[in-house]
Amino acid sequence: MELGSSQRALVRFAALLAAFEDDAFVAARLCEAARVVLGADGASLTAALMNTRHELLCATDEVTQRYEQLQEVAGEGPGYTAARTGELVTVKLGDTSADHWPALAVMTSDLEGTIWSVPLRPGRLVVGVMTLYCKHGPLLEELETVQQVADAVGTAMLQDSSVLAPDTQDTEAWSVRSRLHQASGMVIAQLGVGSEDAVALIRAHAYAHDRDVSDVAADVIARRIDYTDFRIGGD
């Protein structure tokens, strides 16, 4: 059976990852493989830890690294919006008249090309953002395929805590983020709520019982806490 465009892209992505040196930084391998498959001039990966921090993991080039740094300075930008909304955001660089993120638009007015901020959303919870950059022309793949590759990157990040550089990143925070993602998915299945409500429920439970969010998430995963019991009148 002939593979569709998205399937072909994912197969190429997996093949590229397998071809890289095993001792290479995991995030850098994921970033470069996605860049090549999608036909971007540059790419970067940012982890969104507990929806409160946006941590730059890697960048393949000076433009995307600078753009990520300027977003942090401005406190706004397509990466922040993509992380918050879970939707892909496209930006034409050099347009200082843009209504969105005026401070960032001014700071990047000397750049040209297009930026795509793609949420990494394995399941229904955003765990980070992949930024893609092209100086001329579009990406090689349709945006639906771009999103699927980004989700594959997000899945790989959740499955391998070494995606964060041990000497510069908070691996414990990432472990908590991964556990919360898995637990919230179970709450979504149990109650049919949205991802934000599922996370809020776990955090509220932790606060009400004076426990760490990570511990409550672990209990949900182990099925020691089942919120369907609460819905039908449990304790």
Q: What pLDDT was estimated at residue 165?
A: 46
Per residue of the chain (235 residues), give pLDDT as tens: 456 888 899 899 889 888 877 656 788 889 999 999 999 999 999 987 555 567 788 899 999 999 998 888 888 899 999 998 899 999 999 876 666 888 888 888 889 999 999 999 887 778 899 999 999 989 999 999 999 999 999 888 877 655 554 444 455 556 666 677 778 888 888 888 877 778 778 878 887 888 877 788 889 988 899 888 765 444 4
Q: Which two tokens stand for residue 217?
A: 């998430």
List of residues 6+ apart from 214 with CB closer than 8 A: 175, 176, 179, 180
pLDDT of residue 148: 94
Q: If phi over 0 gives left and psi between -120 and 50 gives alpha, with beta otherwise, what is residue 8?
A: alpha
- How confident is the model at residue 190, as a pLDDT? 85
Specify the pLDDT at position 147. Answer: 96
Task: Please tell me the total number of residues recorded for the chain in this structure.
Answer: 235
Between CA 155 and CA 162 the distance in angstroms is: 13
Q: Strands 42-49, 114-120: parallel, antiparallel or unpaired by DSSP?
A: unpaired
Measure CA of the first residue to CA of the last residue in the chain; give whole Å: 52
89 closest CA partner among 77, 97, 76: 77
CA dihedral 57, 27, 178, 141 (to 10 degrees): 100
- With a CB cutoff of 8 Å and minimum separation 6, the contacts of 103 are 74, 75, 76
What are the angstrom distances between the C-alpha of 30 and each of 21, 53, 132, 146, 235? 12, 20, 13, 14, 44
Report field, pTM of the whole predicted structure over 0.75: no
pLDDT at res. 26: 83
